């Protein structure tokens, strides 16, 4: 099994919370406050929390969720 590069995972994969915190240069507290406010969507995979790549890209860039995604926040 080939592991996807970070660039590929930002396009169509998933990122872990620690990876996103580094890329977004933010704290865990601020990140989870943004999750609670609906500014970023997370998914649970067992015990692991992941963020879909396209959502992560928007969060890193400081952009809001697309309207369709915001409906599910």
Measured in degrees and rounded to the nearest 5, phi and psi for residue 27 equal -90, 160
Tell me: the pLDDT tens digits for 23-70?
A: 999 999 999 999 999 999 999 999 999 999 999 999 999 998 877 655
The stretch 8-14 carries a mean pLDDT of 90
Tell me the pTM.
0.82
**Which burial class, exposed, middle or buried, applies to 42 when counting CB atoms under 10 A from its CB (0-12, 13-18, 19+)?**
middle
Q: For the chain, which residues make up each domain, given as ranges?
A: 6-70
Cα dihedral 29, 16, 21, 8 sign: negative
């Amino acid at each position: 099994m080939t592991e996807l590069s970070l660039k590929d995972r930002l396009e169509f994969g998933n990122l872990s919370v620690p990876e996103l915190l580094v890329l977004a240069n933010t704290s865990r507290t601020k990140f989870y406050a943004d999750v609670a406010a609906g500014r970023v969507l997370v998914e649970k995979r067992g015990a692991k929390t992941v963020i879909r790549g396209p959502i992560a890209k928007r969060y890193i860039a400081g952009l809001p969720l697309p309207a369709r995604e915001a409906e599910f926040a």
